[in-house]
């Protein structure tokens, strides 16, 4: 089954709403100048909550084909959850995606697989595609347990998600030791785990469903490394942190086919 590659930028805690709109505008100009075909490679940015309304306004006004989303989503629909942002609020802001279970949220906010699954469900229930992040730390990699560890995260993070929703999920394999370190996984390392994730999806759901799900690699992706990673059969795109803050570099990553 043909899977449209997705290059998604994760801006993390960077860019105020003015910087965010400038970055989207510049990215759009670069991709327009290059006559980028968004049906061949999808491009998206994951902005801070405070920037989403401005990004939405710009993208709608200029009819840009760049997609966007949030970096987190509440598992709750409404109520006494101070500081949380719900799926329906994000849907009203036109979010296509929401990142859930990023390793930084798992580590600094104690998010468990069950929380990640609840957030993924909240996204789906509001028409937002969750980008579910999984991946092992250095100790697990050194012990050679990266596949079993990551597959357990996949299973736990999709618990209770029915096939009708899971068919649209995006999984991002992000080995924690590669995030923000400049140390990108080798294409073979990425393929080993991304392929195993697809196998797990086949086991949890069906081979047909697994064949349609996009599995991204994330961890120090740059324009110099993306093409080799994308040459692997089970790598369907990238979740890009630091390099997505520079529109020129990010546009080059989106244009990896050139």
| Residues of this chain that bind ligand PEP (CB under 6 A) | 10, 12, 174, 179-180, 218-221, 239-243
Evaluate whether 104 touches 77 at the Cβ level (below 8 Å): no
Residue length, the chain? 258
Give the nearest distance from C-beta 113 to ligand PEP in angstroms.
18
- Cβ-based nearer residue to ligand PEP, 87 or 135: 135
Whichever of 49 and 88 has its CB closer to ligand PEP, that residue is 49
Are 229 and 221 contacting, i.e. CB atoms less than 8 angstroms apart? yes
Q: Which is nearer to ligand PEP, 102 or 200 (CB)?
A: 102
Does 76 participate in catalysis according to the annotation?
no
CB 96 within 8 A of CB 64: no
Least distance in angstroms from the C-beta of 5 to ligand PEP = 16
Q: Does residue 17 carry a catalytic annotation?
A: no
| Residue of 42, 104, 136, 174 marked catalytic | 174
Nearer to ligand PEP among residue 100 and residue 209 (C-beta) = 100
CB of 241 to ligand PEP, least distance (A): 2
Q: Is 167 annotated as a binding residue?
A: no
Q: Rounded to 10 degrees, what is the CA torsion of 165, 124, 221, 146?
A: -60
Asked whether residue 241 is marked as a ligand-binding residue, the answer is yes
- Considering the candidates 102, 104, 111, 136, report the single residue annotated as catalytic: 102
Q: List Cβ neighbours of 16 (8 Å cut-off, separation of 6 or more).
A: 48, 50, 51
Q: Which pair of tokens denotes residue 238?
A: 């990238």
10 is in an annotated binding site: yes
Tell me if 159 sits within 8 A of 200, measured CB to CB: no
Shortest approach of ligand PEP to residue 9 CB, angstroms?
9
Alpha-carbon distance values, 118 to 59, 126, 156, 234, 246 (Å): 29, 13, 10, 26, 33
Q: Mind giving me the DSSP string for 205-254?
A: T-HHHHHHSEEEEESS--TTTHHHHHTSTT--EEEESGGGGSHHHHHHHH
Is 11 labeled as ligand-binding? Answer: yes
Q: What residues form the annotated binding site for substrate?
A: 10-12, 180, 220, 241-242
Enumerate the active-site residues.
102, 174
Q: What residues form the annotated binding site?
A: 10-12, 180, 220, 241-242
């Amino acid at each position: 089954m043909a899977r449209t590659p997705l290059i998604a930028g994760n801006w993390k805690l960077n860019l105020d709403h003015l910087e965010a709109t400038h970055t989207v505008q510049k990215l759009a100009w670069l991709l327009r100048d290059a006559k980028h075909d968004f049906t061949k490679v999808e491009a998206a940015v994951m902005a801070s909550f405070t920037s989403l309304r401005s990004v939405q306004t710009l993208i709608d006004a200029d009819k840009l084909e760049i997609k966007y989303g949030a970096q987190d989503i509440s598992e709750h629909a409404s109520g006494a959850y101070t500081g949380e942002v719900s799926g329906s609020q994000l849907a009203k802001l036109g979010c296509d995606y929401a990142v859930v279970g990023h390793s930084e949220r798992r580590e600094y906010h104690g998010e468990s697989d069950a929380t990640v699954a609840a957030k993924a469900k909240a996204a789906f229930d509001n028409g937002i595609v969750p980008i579910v992040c999984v991946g092992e730390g250095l100790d697990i990699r050194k012990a050679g347990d990266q596949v079993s560890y990551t597959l357990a995260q996949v299973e736990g993070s999709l618990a209770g998600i029915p096939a009708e929703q899971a068919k649209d999920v995006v999984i991002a394999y992000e080995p924690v030791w590669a995030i923000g370190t400049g140390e990108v996984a080798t294409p073979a390392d990425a393929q080993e785990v991304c392929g195993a994730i697809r196998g797990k999806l086949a086991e949890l759901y069906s081979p047909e469903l697994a064949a349609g799900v996009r599995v991204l690699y994330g961890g120090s992706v740059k324009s110099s490394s993306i093409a080799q990673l994308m040459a692997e059969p089970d790598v369907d795109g990238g979740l890009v942190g630091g390099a997505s803050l520079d529109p020129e570099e990010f546009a080059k990553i989106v244009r990896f086919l050139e």
